[in-house]
Amino acid sequence: MKKVIVGMSGGVDSAVSALLLKEQGYEVIGLFMKNWEEADASGVCLASKEYEDVIATCNQLEIPYYSVNFTQEYRDSVFQEFLDAFKEGLTPNPDILCNREIKFKVFLQKALELGGDFLATGHYCRTDGKGRLLKGIDPEKDQSYFLSAVKHEALKRVLFPVGSLYKKEVRTLARKANLPVSDKKDSTGICFIGKRDFKPFLSRFLGYEPGYFETLSGEIVGKHDGVAYYTLGQRKGMGLGGEGDAWYVVGKDLKRNVVIVERGADHPALFSGTLQADTTSWIADLPPQFPLHCQAKIRYRQTEQECVVEQKEQDKLYVRFSQPQRAITPGQTIAFYDGEECLGSARILA
């Protein structure tokens, strides 16, 4: 009997993953991973609350469970890189870093050390057993974007039981099995921040000086709290008003400590037909043939866009879209697709 270690988060997706694998005849073990030590407003450890749900689920499924602590590895490999990127004026994606460095590296290694033949997670994506990463069946929940930096060798040892299901089907299965998390809300927000206000959180780790909001013509229109707190395309949270269309962030000048803004959601400064990217990670390791005609998206919820990718320098990509893209954000991830298959990703430079 094959043994599968299921990464249990305390949510319904990983719970149903364990349920399905047990029904398929696997020997299933639940494994909870603690990455971040934080308490809520009442002083209760957030990870402890999630682990309680893991315990309740595993008891209901009658499977053994364990807990591992990777808080130090997470701070060293994910959170520090996250902070370093902000210092450079970038807007990083810690969820992609976490999948690359923690969930499908050190967590996978722990699963194998426990004797697992596979690691399973509740991600909405699929793999073909040969290390290819495929989009999840549910277009509203597909999470292949977040796994776009994971290598094929790791994916060969991973199962995604809910990747071939729609979210509503997962909820139905959880209720039929009387799982204690069947109606638990999905987690939202950045992995270690959740729904909390981002600005106060980040201010605990980075010292930023207030500066000015300026237009492209150099007109000062207000004061900002620090360039790290703003991202391209942002509209809310700037305290800028006056008559006319809403203000949007269209750029940042780190050297002068200036956030550049203009009025209007469709201002030309928000759009570009090209971008440059580095820190490229192809899932198959070997780079494709260039020029690469494929699809790509520059944020999680975006529909894939037709583009042509060329490699101008080693590890630096030049991407040309068939249609101009809004708010291309340095530091974010661009993921590349060939139909249903995710080919890999890179970090947006400009």
Catalytic residue set:
98, 191
Residues 6+ apart with CB under 8 A from 179: 12, 15, 16, 19, 57, 60, 61
Q: Spell 256-270 as b/e; 16+ CB within 10 A means b.
A: eebbbbbbeeebebb
Provide, for the chain, the percentages of residues in helix, strand and coil under a 3-state DSSP scheme, each rounded to the nearest 5.
25, 30, 40
User: What is the layout of strands, in order, in the sheet containing 27-34?
Assistant: 65-69, 27-34, 3-8, 118-120, 158-159
- Give the integer Cα–Cα distance in Å for 184 and 119: 23
237's torsion region: left (phi>0), alpha (psi -120 to 50) or beta? Answer: left
3-state secondary structure of 203: helix
Q: Note whether 294 and 307 are within 8 A (CB).
A: yes
Whole-number Cα distances in Å, 262 to 213, 242, 250, 258, 259: 10, 13, 7, 13, 10
| Short-list 104, 95, 191, CA closest to 143 | 95
- Give the integer Cα–Cα distance in Å for 209 and 187: 32
Tell me, what amino acid is at 65?
Y
DSSP 138-202: -TTT--GGGGTT--HHHHTTEE-TTTTS-HHHHHHHHHHTT-TTTTPPPP-SBTTTBTS-HHHHH
Strand partners, 342: 133, 337
Strand partners, 346: 334
Q: Note whether 184 and 30 are within 8 A (CB).
A: no
